[in-house]
Amino acid sequence: MSIIKLKNRLTQLFNSNILEQQARSLGFTKRLRPNGVHPMALVVSLVAALGKGNAKSIADLHRQFNGMQLTEDDFVEYKPFHNQLKKQEFPKLMELLAKQAMVQLAQGGNHETPEKFKRFKQVLLQDGSSLTLHAGLASVFPGRFTKTAPAAVECHMTMSLFAQAPTKMTIAADTKSEHDYVPQAHELAGSLLLADAGYVNLDNFASLAEHGASFLVRGKKSLNPKIIEAYNGKGRRQAKVEGKRLKEVSRRTNRSEVLDMTVEWKKLRCRAIRRWFPEERKYVIWLTNLERDEFSAEEVMSFYRCRWQIELLFKELKSDNNMKKFATQQKAIVEGLIWASLLTLILKRLVSKTAVKAVSWFKAAKNADVWFLPIMQALYQRELYDIEEQIIWAFEYLKRNALPAQQSNSKQGKGFREILAGL
């Protein structure tokens, strides 16, 4: 994507007239008053404030809003600013904008799909991350840990691995089951899903297979399927363990560091890979329906480490885009600011991956006041020439300061791109 295309995408997302129309259609804006809070000013200032990663209060957001106004006549007092945030339509507006930005990020940039994965419609990562809230919201968002965190939400995320972009997010009470927020089996037809042990669900795996979807999920310690077929890490048949239950096969009965098995429950037959880690003295299990002749056990275990990318995204959301606890008992403010944080992350990633083909998200997320905030200010002022100039400057900065560090040759030190290159 060129600088001009990026500028066009950003100016489309932050078109004052379109934003106003969207705000009116959702009921967020009924009439615009002189010295009122215009949707464009509000959205841009929130993205700017959250993008710095150091906002500690709603008052900080308010100060950023006034700091971006062109004249003192545009300043707004705290109360009318706060009143805008607590409108029930506020999270609806921010969700709409975040979803629009998701599409832009998924389509833009220079992501490439390795040859081995081109048969998949997409490779998706699934995870969730919780956020503690003001205790006064416990009736709305009850937390799992009633003593330490009586109020909490969990953000359930689906992320495209190769686009490095979220494709779906849902905000729910922390007590809700993560299984309720996994994409439906028919939605995943032709795709590959990676998830951690919290998403083990045999009925769901069977449904995924029926719909032509693939899965790679870390297994729970409690799993005890029947072993139908077994090989060690070198591909040698392990006939002595076949017909047994998985928990019957210990280090004493089988010394193979890696067991690559076909296993079966009543409703599901799939592949299970179990590895012994001597340092921790424990087994780790992965469940998948990826074919053995296409993906070796070593490749499956290595590829699963790419799931860490969604953990990094959540870390980026919380550390660098201010998805954090704000001192408020307003449900709308909580939800709206979570969506605003996601919007901020997406916009920073859109600029970053357009500027640098192989970008370090960690490095790009830092010093946003140097390269990202000037772009937002230019967008707000609607100075098209200045927008282009600020994008050029951001590109130069990111090319010098956001390149990935050279990775270690060890397996532990390999990064996302190195893992894929080795498959």
Return d(Cα 345, Cα 170) in angstroms, integer.
16
- Candidates 393, 321, 320; CA nearest to 46 is 321
* pLDDT tens, residue by residue, 171-219: 999 999 999 999 999 999 999 999 999 999 999 999 999 999 999 999 9
Position 414 confidence tier, pLDDT thresholds 50, 70, 90:
low
Position 384 confidence tier, pLDDT thresholds 50, 70, 90:
low
Judge whether 264 lies within some domain.
Answer: no
Judge whether 65 lies within some domain.
Answer: yes
Judge whether 381 lies within some domain.
Answer: yes
248, two tokens: 């019957």
Return d(Cα 16, Cα 30) in angstroms, integer.
15
Judge whether 36 lies within some domain.
Answer: yes
Give the β-pairing of 192-195 and 123-132: parallel
Judge whether 292 lies within some domain.
Answer: no
The domain of 391 spans 3-106+330-401
Centroid of chain to Cα 220: 23
Confirm if 214 and 208 have CB atoms less than 8 A apart. yes
- Candidates 223, 205, 227, 202; CA nearest to 214 is 205
- Candidates 180, 177, 174; CA nearest to 151 is 174
Strand pairing partners for 245? 226
Q: What is the arrangement of strands in the sheet containing 269-277, beginning at the earlier edge strand?
A: 165-173, 152-160, 123-132, 192-195, 214-218, 282-288, 269-277, 258-264, 226-232
Q: SS3 sequence, 405-420?
A: CCCCCCCCCCCHHHHH
Q: What is the DSSP string of 122-166?
A: -EEEEEEEEEE--GGGTTTSB-S-TTT-SBEEEEEEEEETTTTEE
Judge whether 300 lies within some domain.
Answer: no
- Candidates 347, 344, 346; CA nearest to 391 is 347
Evaluate if residue 353 carries a pLDDT over 50: yes
Judge whether 344 lies within some domain.
Answer: yes
* pLDDT tens, residue by residue, 115-162: 889 999 999 999 999 999 999 999 999 999 888 899 999 999 999 999
Q: What integer best gives the mean pLDDT of the chain? A: 92
Judge whether 205 lies within some domain.
Answer: no
pTM of the model: 0.93
pLDDT of residue 352: 93
Position 410 confidence tier, pLDDT thresholds 50, 70, 90:
very low
> How many separate domains does the chain show?
1
Confirm if 219 and 259 have CB atoms less than 8 A apart. no
pLDDT of residue 412: 44
Q: What percent of the chain has pLDDT over 90?
A: 78
pLDDT of residue 192: 97
